[in-house]
Amino acid sequence: MAIDYVQGDPFASPSKIRLIIPSQQRPLHASWLEPKIRKVAVEDVLARAVAKAVRNLQIDIKGSGKSGAIFFDAPKQQVIERTAVQISPDAITVCLSVGLPANGRRINGRQAQRLFSEAIPAILQQSIFAISDEEINQAVVLADQQAAIRDTMKENSWIGFVANGAILPRKSGVNDLPLKDAIHFQSPKSFETEISIPHQCEPLKGMAIPKGVTLIVGGDITVKAHCSMHLKWVSTIM
């Protein structure tokens, strides 16, 4: 473990630490880390496991202010390169912010010991060491398929692709989870196409969105009808 920043008191910004897990303790297949899109996917799935472990941690550390609080930069819906979990040939590094325990201005050594000997190891045991190779491999497979879709979009000058069966509505404006009981997307036949993707025998069907004017309308029937007429006019003059 490495400590990069130590807070001045229990009410200040939490301390920043790095948990370094040698590759011998949690081996990762070399094929998961090349090309870069695979490595980003593996870091992302590990970060999601760490975020879940932090969220579900049941060990209570007592003290003033932020004592015992553990913070982690949990991923949202997007799979992008982050620094919360980093993979190198030698190790996996997990970055956390922790509130060092204290009572007022007095350090609470017993609670600090629990933080570092119980809480933090429990997070690693329930995430980095608990996640299976199959779960990681599923993330790699998805990354390969996303790369194939993006390559096909570039070759055909598409600006977007929506697979049949996708759930587009989110649970709310501030929640990335899919809306419960939402209608699954089905492409209009005029826009439907197929893409051959790796790790799957059947081609992926969905709607390809070409370059040009794209109109997105809401649920109001009057507005939808008006926009549909306008879209036909736009298509004619393009």
What pLDDT digit, counting tens, does each position of 124-180 carry?
999 999 999 999 999 999 999 999 999 999 999 999 999 999 999 989 888 888 999
pLDDT at position 43 over 60: yes
Would you place residue 32 in the very low, low, confident or very high pLDDT band (cuts 50, 70, 90)?
A: very high
Whether residues 44 and 96 share a domain: the answer is: yes
Whether residues 174 and 127 share a domain: the answer is: no
**Beta 70-71 vs 204-210: how paired, if at all?**
unpaired
List Cβ<8 Å contacts ≥24 apart for 233-238.
Answer: 238/212, 238/213
Whether residues 162 and 219 share a domain: the answer is: yes
Mean pLDDT of 17-46: 97
CA–CA separation, 56 and 54 (whole Å): 6
Whether residues 66 and 110 share a domain: the answer is: yes
Question: b/e for 121-146, b at 16 or more Cβ within 10 A?
Answer: ebbbebbbeebeeeebbebbbbbbbe
pLDDT at 40: 97
Whether 141 is in a domain gets the answer no
Q: Are 144 and 36 within 8 A, CB to CB?
A: no
Whether residues 169 and 125 share a domain: the answer is: no
CA–CA separation, 46 and 29 (whole Å): 14
Q: Which residues contact 16 (CB under 8 A, 6 or more apart)?
A: 3, 4, 5, 95, 96, 97
Whether 143 is in a domain gets the answer no
- CB-neighbour burial class of residue 50 (10 A; exposed 0-12, middle 13-18, buried 19+): buried
- State the angle between helix axes of 36-56 and 133-156 in degrees (0 to 180), rounded to the nearest 10: 130
CA distances from 30 to 23, 51, 80, 90 (A): 11, 24, 20, 11
Which residue segment(s) compose the domain that 56 sits in? Answer: 2-136
Question: Which regions of 23-112 does DSSP assign to beta strands (E)?
Answer: 70-71, 85-87, 91-98, 102-103, 106-107
109-126, pLDDT tens digit by residue? 999 999 999 999 999 999
Overall pTM surpassing 0.75 (yes/no): yes
Residue 71 region, left (φ>0) first, then alpha (ψ -120 to 50), else beta?
beta
Whether residues 96 and 175 share a domain: the answer is: no
pLDDT at position 3 over 50: yes
pLDDT at 86: 97
167-215, pLDDT tens digit by residue? 999 898 888 889 999 999 999 998 899 999 999 999 999 999 998 887 7
Q: What percent of the chain has pLDDT over 90?
A: 81
Which amino acid is present at 191? Answer: F
- Between 237 and 11, the more confident residue is 11
Domain boundary among 80, 106, 136: 136
pLDDT at position 228 over 70: no
pLDDT at 154: 95
Q: Are 96 and 120 within 8 A, CB to CB?
A: yes
